[in-house]
Amino acid sequence: MRRRKSHTFIETTVPDPVSAEAWRELLEVLETADAFGLVDGRSGRVAWAAIDRETPATANAARGHGHQL
């Protein structure tokens, strides 16, 4: 987890292989972020999420409308 002025970023390594149930759970969590993505690199697959620190946590209408890059 890294905190920046405007966002908090969270990254996690995604195991390979990943079960269908674990994949669904990961996607459910990512959908709650303001932005999210999945990156394949030398060190494996990494899922990341960014949460806008200015958006109130109780503003459900503002959450879950991120953009997958």
The end-to-end CA distance of the chain, in Å, is 19
27 three-class SS: helix
- The whole-model pTM stands at 0.70
DSSP code, position 38: E
pLDDT at 43: 83
Give strand pairing partners of 2. Answer: 9
List pLDDT tens digits, range 15-26: 989 999 999 999
pLDDT at 69: 43
Cα dihedral 43/29/49/13 (nearest 10): -10
Pairing of strands 7-14, 44-52: antiparallel
pLDDT at 57: 56
